[in-house]
Amino acid sequence: MSMVNALTRVQGMVQLDRQKSASLAFLIGVIILMLFGLARVIDWMSDEQQLPLSQLMLEGDQTYVTAMQVREAVLSVGELKSFMLQDVDSIQSSIEALPWVKHVAVRKQWPDTLKVHITEYRASAIWNGQKLLTPSGEVFDGSPSDVADKSLISLHGTPGSAEEVLATSRELEKKLRKIGLSIQALSLNKRRSWRIVTRDGVRIELGRTARQERLARLVALYPRISAQDKTIAYVDLRYDTGAAVGWKSETGPANSQD
């Protein structure tokens, strides 16, 4: 190999190395610019002044949960942040604490909206004069005053007995309707004694045992009792046979036993 050819080959290799170095430097430069640009975009999107959440959109049930209640629940977690930084879990927890809220889903909608979808509880009865029951017997913190126009049955019982009392009220209601009565209130006390108050003000004492037998006795006796030209105050079925009946009068209740 001549000296000229060797020199030419060395020069070619040097030129190739320079081209590779230039390509690598260009690629590194592009990557650095991309990372810098991405950092600037993230920084811009994270700036509360650039993408502030300023709109609140409510969806779903809004019968008892008001827009003002939801707004106050949202703001109670602190001042809203930017679209990228805002934590929706804390907002969701705050809204879930509202009395009538059974389920809530909170999500962000680009570029400035907070969407809140609410599912409310359905009230089936009043529980212990202070709370409400769902059709499945779940106790929730809705106020009885919220459903004052619904004429819901009033149920009373010990802690943990809500489902039992609700189921019993339905069972008793079906049978009492046969004799023209409807339940206004039903209670189960600590001694597990049952008491009914009908919508026309009759108090019915069923006691602790033989509830079905006593109710059947009431159904059989009630036509004779109601045939009296008197207003019934109470019917006490806590006897082996028959029933004690109290009548309303101007001077006070009078008693008789059937």
3-state secondary structure 167-234: HHHHHHHHHHHHHCCCEEEEEECCCCCEEEEECCCCEEEEECCCHHHHHHHHHHHHHHHHCCCCEEEE
CA–CA distance, 83 with 63 (Å, rounded to integer): 29
The domain locations on the chain are 7-46, 55-120, 125-257
> Average pLDDT for residues 43-58, to the nearest whole number?
67
> Average pLDDT for residues 197-204, to the nearest whole number?
96
Class level of CATH domain 55-120? alpha beta
> Average pLDDT for residues 36-50, to the nearest whole number?
56
CA–CA distance, 155 with 223 (Å, rounded to integer): 26
Determine the straight-line distance between the first and last CA of the chain, rounded to whole angstroms. Answer: 136
Q: Considering Cα of 73, then 76, then 82, then 87, what sign does the dihedral take?
A: negative
Whole-number percent of the chain with pLDDT over 70: 79
Which bin fits 96, alpha (ψ -120 to 50), beta or left (φ > 0)?
alpha
What is the model's pLDDT at position 15?
A: 61
What is the architecture, at CATH level 2, of domain 125-257?
3-Layer(aba) Sandwich (3.40)
**8 A C-beta contact, residue 182 and residue 172:** no
Out of 24-28, 188-192, 210-214, which region has the weakest mean confidence (pLDDT)?
A: 24-28
Element (DSSP H or E) covering residue 23: helix 3-46
Out of 21-30, 129-138, 178-187, 240-249, which region has the weakest mean confidence (pLDDT)?
A: 21-30
Q: Residue 29 to residues 19, 32, 34, 35: CA-CA distances in angstroms?
A: 15, 5, 9, 10
> Average pLDDT for residues 88-110, to the nearest whole number?
93
Tell me how far the alpha carbon of residue 165 is from its chain's centroid: 21
> Average pLDDT for residues 79-104, to the nearest whole number?
88
Checking if the pLDDT of 257 tops 70, the result is no
pTM of the model: 0.76
36 token code pair? 């810098």
55-120 matches 125-257 in fold: no
